Amino acid sequence: MEAVVSLAKRRGFIFPGSEIYGGLSGTWDYGPLGLALKNNIKKLWWKMFVEEQEAIYGLDAAILMNPKVWEASGHASGFTDPLVECEKCQHRFREDQLEDKKKCPDCGGKLGEAKQFNMMFETKVGVGEGAINSYLRPETAQGIFANFKNIIDCFHPRLPFGIAQIGKAFRNEIAPRDFIFRQREFEQMELEYFVPEGEWEKHFEKWRNLMKDFAEAVGIDGVYENDKEDLAHYSKKTIDFEFEYPFGRNELWGLAYRTDFDLRAHSVSSGADLSYMDEEASEKIVPHVIEPSLGVDRTVLAVLLSAYTEDELGGEKRVYLKLPQTIAPIRAAVFPLLKNKEELVKKAREVFESLKTDFPNIVWDDNGNIGKRYRRQDEIGTPSCITIDFDTLEDDTVTVRDRDTGEQRRVAIADLKATL
Ligand code: ATP
């Protein structure tokens, strides 16, 4: 974990939030490479869970919502974790995560009684006396339920159909820890899939398989399914997809059968008709819901941990990220063999510029010797390095070097695009 956290900081993937002011616990900032990786992961999710599916509608709902949403959903009263405080060192812990619930894991002191602590961040919306108390959303799902009627009215979808959203969520976690695993501000990729009650098991299986495919597509080494016994108030079946982190096996994503709990609760609370007209049966029904919920940041963490590799290449130790090509922040790096040979630089610029339109995520590097440039690119997971040398000036071929094997082959400039 330390090696990955240090690489992430050193190479511009992920920085501690507000670092120059001593940080803010549970917040992290994504630098250029982390952002590129995260965007690629989100794009791939959108492709696999929205574009390649039928009848999935995209949404980008507001983070701030009417507080009645959170009363109806059960979050205002029930989105709590048990908080315990050490009577000696005053450190706070989530009781359900402690093995010994009486003794402080930091100083051995006695732990006090557990109190239920609501994890939603409260905020004021509006000014002065007209201000109301609301919350920063702790999940993106409720924005989807609140827009169910809008999607029905605009698009008249037939069951089954889904609504998908990627966005920020906020939770005032008692003990944020383990790098980006448990943060107070994070991102989720969520899909609510509306189905007739009798078909929920079939659809649950479909999304479960797609989540496994997604894990493979982003290069996560092994996900373990944990059929949960301790279910949330809205769920009749939940599977946690878990990953073997360096700090132990823990949740990566969740897949839940949420029944018709949310639509019914919002119907009662808002007075809006959140039913669906089943034309074949000529009756109104409230659809049931399957929810694949994937944390973006936990995905980034599992991807980085899976990709981090130390090996020996040409008798030298090296570190590289074996990221799949589809999500690597940089697709290829272009080098002139020597930076002080004008004709090499000129030719290399031509190659770089001709590729840049088709591959916006390629970079130029002419700093240090070739071996060092390879190591730098390996460490950030760049799949290919392209070197322009003296032979290029003669025969218009370049060297393309593969990150994982270190193998180099000559490729005609005209074939580069197809090769990449
Ligand atoms: P945990 O048990 O770890 O607190 P959870 O079961 O409360 O997580 P869900 O409410 O199911 O999590 O949220 C869906 C997904 O959002 C999780 O599977 C995870 O990927 C992500 N997630 C939840 N809380 C956090 C957090 N504090 N930081 C980063 N990602 C999170």
- CA of residue 182 to ligand 1 center, whole Å: 8
User: Is residue 323 assigned to a domain?
Assistant: no
Residues 161 and 256 in one domain: yes
Percent of the chain with pLDDT over 90: 93
User: Is residue 31 assigned to a domain?
Assistant: yes
Q: In this structure, what CATH number is given to the domain that contains residue 379?
A: 3.40.50.800
User: Is residue 385 assigned to a domain?
Assistant: yes
- CA of residue 295 to ligand 1 center, whole Å: 6
pLDDT digits (tens, 9 = 90+) for 257-289: 999 999 999 999 999 999 999 888 899 999 999
Residues 87 and 230 in one domain: no
Q: Which of 52-66, 80-94, 155-169, 209-223 has the least mean pLDDT?
A: 80-94
pLDDT at 382: 98
Task: Please choose from 118, 181, 251 the residue to mutate so as to test ligand 1's pocket, defined by most ligand atoms within 8 A of CB.
Answer: 251
Residue 336 has pLDDT above 80, yes or no: yes
Q: Answer whether 374 contacts ligand 1 (Cβ < 6 A).
A: no
Residues 406 and 367 in one domain: yes
Residues 170 and 39 in one domain: yes
Residues 54 and 187 in one domain: yes
Q: Which of 164-168, 233-237, 261-265, 378-382 has the least mean pLDDT?
A: 233-237
User: Is residue 56 assigned to a domain?
Assistant: yes
Residues 64 and 100 in one domain: no
pLDDT at 395: 97
- CA of residue 16 to ligand 1 center, whole Å: 20
The angle at the Cα of 369, spanning 365 to 370, to the nearest 5 degrees, equals: 70
Nearest CA to ligand 1 atom 3: 251
Q: Answer whether 295 contacts ligand 1 (Cβ < 6 A).
A: yes
User: Is residue 102 assigned to a domain?
Assistant: yes
Query: Which structural domain, as residue segments, surrounds residue 345?
Result: 330-419
Residues 272 and 371 in one domain: no
pLDDT at 236: 86
pLDDT digits (tens, 9 = 90+) for 206-246: 999 999 999 999 999 999 999 988 887 778 899 999 999 99
Residues 225 and 96 in one domain: no
Q: Answer whether 293 contacts ligand 1 (Cβ < 6 A).
A: yes
Nearest CA to ligand 1 atom 23: 295
Percent of the chain with pLDDT over 70: 100
As a whole number, mean pLDDT of residues 176-185 equals: 96
Residues 85 and 69 in one domain: no
Residues 299 and 396 in one domain: no
* Interacting residues of 244 by C-beta distance below 8 A, sequence separation 6+: 222, 224
What ligand 1 atom has the least distance to the C-alpha of 295?
A: 20
Residues 363 and 393 in one domain: yes
Q: Answer whether 253 contacts ligand 1 (Cβ < 6 A).
A: yes
pLDDT digits (tens, 9 = 90+) for 209-220: 999 999 999 999
pLDDT at 24: 97
Q: How far apart are CA 34 and CA 296, in angstroms?
A: 12
Q: Answer whether 254 contacts ligand 1 (Cβ < 6 A).
A: yes
Q: How far apart are CA 382 and CA 210, in angstroms?
A: 27
* Interacting residues of 321 by C-beta distance below 8 A, sequence separation 6+: 304, 307, 308, 309, 328, 378, 379, 380, 381
- CA of residue 160 to ligand 1 center, whole Å: 26
User: Is residue 226 assigned to a domain?
Assistant: yes
pLDDT at 84: 93
Task: Please choose from 73, 118, 183, 186 the residue to mutate so as to test ligand 1's pocket, defined by most ligand atoms within 8 A of CB.
Answer: 186
As a whole number, mean pLDDT of residues 277-305 equals: 95
pLDDT at 314: 87
Q: Answer whether 137 contacts ligand 1 (Cβ < 6 A).
A: no
Q: Answer whether 171 contacts ligand 1 (Cβ < 6 A).
A: yes
Joined tokens for residue 49: 């869970």
DSSP string, 149-172: HHHHHHH-PPSSEEEEEEEEEE--
* Interacting residues of 82 by C-beta distance below 8 A, sequence separation 6+: 94, 95, 96, 114, 115, 116, 117
Radius of gyration of the chain (CA): 25
User: Is residue 324 assigned to a domain?
Assistant: no
State the average pLDDT for the chain: 96
Q: Answer whether 243 contacts ligand 1 (Cβ < 6 A).
A: no
User: Is residue 322 assigned to a domain?
Assistant: no
- CA of residue 252 to ligand 1 center, whole Å: 8
Residues 166 and 86 in one domain: no
Nearest CA to ligand 1 atom 30: 295
Q: Answer whether 186 contacts ligand 1 (Cβ < 6 A).
A: yes
Nearest C-alpha neighbor of 38 from the set 193, 187, 153: 187
pLDDT at 235: 82
pLDDT digits (tens, 9 = 90+) for 307-328: 999 999 989 999 999 999 999 9
As a whole number, mean pLDDT of residues 161-188 equals: 97
What domain count does the chain have? 3
